[in-house]
Amino acid sequence: MAWLFVLGVGVFAGAISGIIGTGSSMILLPVLAIVFGPKVAVPIMAVSAFIANAGRVVVWWSEVRWRAVLWFSLLAVPGAVLGAKTLIAIPDAVGNYLLGGLLLLLIPLRYWIRGSKIGSKPIHLLWAGGFIGFFTGIVASSGPLSLAAFSSFGLAKAGLIATEAAASFFVFGAKATTFRQLGALETETLIHGMLVGGSVVAGTFVAKRLLNKISADHHDRIIDITLLVAGLAIILS
**Residue-wise pLDDT tens for the chain (237 aa)?**
678 888 888 888 877 776 666 667 777 878 888 888 777 887 888 888 888 888 778 777 888 999 999 999 999 999 999 988 988 887 766 656 666 776 677 777 767 766 665 556 788 888 888 988 998 888 766 777 787 788 777 777 667 778 888 998 999 899 889 988 888 788 888 898 898 888 887 877 766 555 555 565 666 676 677 667 666 766 665
Other CB atoms within 10 Å distance of the CB of residue 63: 18
Q: What is the pLDDT of residue 233?
A: 64
Query: What is the number of domains present in the chain?
Result: 1
Q: What is the pLDDT of residue 68?
A: 92
Q: What is the pLDDT of residue 140?
A: 67
CA-atom Rg of the chain in angstroms: 16
Q: What is the pLDDT of residue 128?
A: 85
Q: What is the pLDDT of residue 170?
A: 94
Q: What is the pLDDT of residue 117?
A: 57
Q: What is the pLDDT of residue 86?
A: 87
CA 208 to chain centre: 19
Q: What is the pLDDT of residue 74?
A: 95
Q: What is the pLDDT of residue 219?
A: 60
CB-based contacts of 165, cutoff 8 Å, min separation 6: 53, 56, 57, 60, 64
Q: Which residue type, as a one-letter code, is found at position 5? A: F
Considering only CA atoms, which of 81, 80, 5 is closest in space to residue 36? 5
Q: What is the pLDDT of residue 139?
A: 73
Q: What is the pLDDT of residue 174?
A: 92
Query: Phi and psi dihedrals of 165, rounded to 5?
Result: -65, -40
CA 15 to chain centre: 15
**207 contacts 19 by C-beta, under 8 angstroms:** yes
Residue 123's domain comprises 2-236
Using CA atoms, how far apart are residues 83 and 104, in angstroms rounded to an integer?
A: 18
